[in-house]
Amino acid sequence: MDWQHIYSTWLYNIRQLDSDVDDLAPFEMVQLNVKELRVEVDWWPKSEHSERLDNLKRGAGLYWETKKGTLYTAKLLFANRGSSERLAAILIMASLDVKEKDPPDDWRGHNYRLMEEMSLTIRQAFPEIQRWPHSTRDALPVTIGRYFPACDFIHPSKDHEFIYLFALEASLSLGNWQLIRYVPSGYLGE
């Protein structure tokens, strides 16, 4: 298994899911009426986008709290924007991270070793991309096969099946959630 195989399989699946591969992680700039930012990037559910934007324009603060692991993924995506290969690696590693920390019972053994091999391959290709903190459990807004007994029917056993699952999670996350970059007041010239 090598990175190019993982990446080309992932890209193929992303395209099959009608996801945009030219800009895997587009950030929208949102101005906050503060001088200093405590959070630079975030994920917003697209269904709440206009409501959140309206609240911020009215002067309300950030009344929600995005999970730390998901914020960490957003930071990594922002730091690596401009490289679709690095963005793909981050999105795949985010899926792997969640599944390696808390694998379903039938994903242990062969499947766990396969995930470890994939993770090691990606980390060797991109050693500068840091791991998620051990305490984080949610690296993407959408995770398939976790917390829900109804997902017990998902039994990937080959690398391309795992890669498809990772592409599906990335597609659902990016399709339903918007990456946000907060900027201080006056940054956008308004």
Q: Is 69 exposed, middle or buried (0-12, 13-18, 19+ CB in 10 A)?
A: buried
Judge contact between 184 and 35, C-beta under 8 A: yes
Mean pLDDT by 10 residues, the chain (190 residues): 96 91 83 76 94 86 86 95 94 93 81 94 95 88 70 82 95 94 73
How many Å apart are CA 84 and CA 52, to the nearest integer?
A: 29
- Distance (Å, rounded) from C-alpha 139 to C-alpha 68? 8
How many other CB atoms sit within 10 Å of the CB of residue 189?
A: 5
Neighbour tally for 6: CB within 10 Å: 22
- 3-state SS class at 45: strand
Of 183, 156, 158, 174, nearest in space to 31 by CA? 183
pLDDT of residue 90: 96
Q: Is 81 helix (H, G, I), strand (E, B) or coil?
A: coil
Distance spanning both ends of the chain, measured CA to CA: 50
Cross-strand bridge partners of residue 110: none
Q: 146 burial class (0-12, 13-18, 19+ CB within 10 angstroms)?
A: middle
Helix (H, G, I), strand (E, B) or coil at 121: helix
* Residue 107: per-residue pLDDT: 80
- Per the CB < 8 A criterion, the answer to whether 171 and 17 are in contact is yes
Q: Is 44 helix (H, G, I), strand (E, B) or coil?
A: strand
- d(CA 160, CA 18) in angstroms, rounded, equals 18
Helix 84-101 to helix 159-176 angle (10° resolution) is: 110
